[in-house]
Amino acid sequence: MPPFTFDTSSPIRRREWPLPRCFAGSDEALVRTTLPLEEVELPPGRILHESGEPFDFVYWLHSGLVSLLLVMPDGSTVGAALIGADGVVDGSAALGSEIALRRASVHLPVRATRVPVAPLFAFAAEHAEVRRWLVRYNDALIARIQQSVACNALHDVQTRLCGWLSSARDHARTDVLPVTQEFLSQLLGVRRTTITLLARQLRSAGVISYSRGIVTITDPDALERLACCCRAMVREQTVHLLGDEAPPELVLDPALTPSETPGGLPIRRS
């Protein structure tokens, strides 16, 4: 999967991208005339909101990658979840949430449809199918964050690193990820020297290559096998909650299941 780039000098585009999945059962003309939808392109590093800030917009991603980060009092951060294509950032705002509990930061260039919170809240209140979809998606996101808590407590750094890289690849739909070792150390809550050692081991095994802040996944199947069982569990939970409306990259691969061995590494079934 090749990387993608685009001109982000103008954040708002006037073309019409497909409607977000939550409107699948709604009249398209009604949605477009009722809601002030904006198609935006956002560069890496853009902060959509900080923890503790009120929500301004809800974003539906068409491509790219957004990191949800927990911010500690000393300013350090820990990764909570990734949101990629077909995902929603701040969907809980349309259900009544007012204050962000996590920082939302653009990690890979984002194409998205966004809408101000107030009109979307009113629309969801009047259209039960939209509200139900947002509730299910929010439940799936909470399940993903809860799984990350268990992962951080129970799994070693190597399996967590491989799991994050595999998830980032799935969400961003590219093998080329602009991530630094410093970022990964902050994300996983470990020292940079630990990430350096693990990255060298993965490179020696032919799983990844890296240079100047770019990680290229050269053997995604091997990376998947080295990841912890949390990825398969998150996929199962997401499909259970969203069914056919689950983002494509999170649909459970039937060949990938959590093993029953201690450590719970995923195994491939032939």
> Shortest CA distance to 184 belongs to which of 89, 67, 106?
67
Boundary (domain end) residue, out of 120, 151, 182? 151
Residue 89 within a domain: yes
pLDDT in single tens digits along all 270 residues of the chain: 444 344 444 444 445 678 888 888 888 899 999 999 999 999 998 999 999 999 999 999 998 989 999 888 888 888 888 898 888 999 999 999 999 999 999 988 999 999 999 999 999 999 999 999 999 999 989 988 888 878 877 888 999 999 989 988 888 888 999 988 888 888 888 899 999 999 999 999 999 999 888 999 999 999 999 988 887 888 888 888 877 666 655 543 433 333 322 233 332 322
Boundary (domain end) residue, out of 151, 169, 197? 151
Whether residues 107 and 179 fall in one domain: no
The residue to which tokens 């630094």 are assigned: 180
Report, in angstroms and rounded to the nearest whole number, the Rg of the chain calculated over CA atoms: 19
Segments forming the whole domain that contains residue 19: 12-151
Count of structural domains, the chain: 2
pLDDT score recorded for residue 215: 94
How many Å apart are CA 221 and CA 137, to the nearest integer?
A: 28
Boundary (domain end) residue, out of 119, 151, 183? 151
